[in-house]
Amino acid sequence: MLGIRGLRHVINGAILIFVLSAANSDLYIGSRTLYGLALEGKAPKIFRRVNRMGVPWPALILCTAFCFLVFLNVAKGKSKEIMNDESLTYFKGSSRVFKYFVNLVSTFGAITWMCILYTHIRFMKALKLRGISRDSLPYKAPFQPYGAWFALVATAIITFFKGFDTFLPFKGDTFVTAYIGLPAFVFFYAFWKIRFREHTIPLAEMDLISGKKQIDDEEERYLAEQAALGPRTRWQKLWDAL
């Protein structure tokens, strides 16, 4: 690459680090989301279990199990040239299935982010309606609300056009996996609203207080524990950050 020896190994190493970081955060989000749903009675009770360190291990195991689907994209043998017809057919089939999963996950991931952005926009509107300054929040996202609106519209456009290659020429299987997430989301959203007779909470009725006292108390305990430790050296601060 560009005549620089070893550069490709550096890039591969950087990509590997990024992938591991993303996988780690996604496992955390997925397991805690499933754990939260179980606490609310919206997922099986087994996912309420945690170990002595507070890790929801049944939820984590289930989320981790899906990671092994990546091996569908691994070919048998060292290269396609030395594959026999049976192993090449296996590789093509499993590789196609893996592509289906990628299409599904990317669509549902984009929908998730659009829901987060929409929720954040309504949260900021509720704060403004209550006369609560965003400066009072522990973290104030920059460029708001324009940044959230821009990200919402951009993500929606990307989600809509990400499967354009299925039309050139038209491929029914990849078209379905690229776009099935959109009607599926609308169906389950409508089903939940109708089945449990729920409605969108008006901005004036949004609960922005529940749980705040517990968070404030926890923060006070943490600050007291840090103060009891006394002055920290630079290396100790680095270790605490890690």
Given a contact cutoff of 8 angstroms between Cβ atoms, the answer to whether 97 and 74 are in contact is no
Q: Spell out the SS3 assignment of 59-113.
A: HHHHHHHHHHHHHHHCCCCCCHHHCCHHHHHHHHHHHHHHHHHHHHHHHHHHHHH
Given a contact cutoff of 8 angstroms between Cβ atoms, the answer to whether 33 and 109 are in contact is no
3-state secondary structure at position 49: coil
Residue 48 gets which letter from DSSP? G
pLDDT 10s per residue in the chain (242 long)? 556 677 788 888 898 898 888 888 889 988 999 999 999 888 899 999 999 888 999 999 999 988 887 776 665 444 444 445 454 454 566 667 777 777 788 888 889 899 999 999 999 999 888 888 888 887 888 888 899 999 999 999 988 888 777 777 777 777 887 888 889 999 988 998 888 888 888 888 888 888 878 888 888 888 888 788 778 788 877 777 76
Provide the pLDDT for residue 77: 43
Whole-number Å distance between alpha carbons of 208 and 215: 13
Whole-number Å distance between alpha carbons of 230 and 227: 6
> Concatenated DSSP letters for 148-203?
HHHHHHHHHHHHHHTTGGGBTTB-HHHHHHHHTHHHHHHHHHHHHHHHTT--PPPG
